[in-house]
Amino acid sequence: MEQQGRYIIFFDGDCLICNHFVQLLLRIDRRKKFLFSSLQSEFARTALTNIPKNTDSIVFLSPAGTYLKSEAILKICKQLGFPYITCYLLKILPLSWRDALYDYFAKNRYRWFGKNEFCTIPSKSERERFI
């Protein structure tokens, strides 16, 4: 599958919230713009050479660049269009504030929501969107 020029979302496969976010995106991304890959995958290790090795935040790879944390979330919302693009208004907050909130949530996510106990089995059409 051709990845150049595509939008790829890398997520923490152990994170329950990240997996729910991916499931939500699979439902609302009717144009099938996004592809998905776990940060723990071999593909992520080879594709994400320009980010720190211990990254456990969401990573958004687009033709325009690579984005982490809150910036990744906002860029994803922007690509989804209306009504999700309204989240992009959070850009008015300084990146340091947005990422501080993101880091606080990420630091506590396993304690608050637990870890993924099992893998969701994607449908045939959803499997085509995972790398």
CATH of the domain at 86: 3.40.30
Cut 0.75: pTM above it = yes
Count the domains in the chain.
Answer: 1
| Residue 67, domain member (yes or no) | yes
Backbone angles phi, psi at 81, to 5 degrees: 80, -165
pLDDT at residue number 128: 85
Confidence category of residue 120, pLDDT binned at 50, 70, 90: low
Residue 80: pLDDT over 70: yes
| Residue 93, domain member (yes or no) | yes
102 in helix, strand or coil?
Answer: helix
| Residue 66, domain member (yes or no) | yes
Average pLDDT over residues 43-52: 87
pLDDT at residue number 81: 85
Name the residue range of residue 103's domain. Answer: 7-114
| Residue 57, domain member (yes or no) | yes
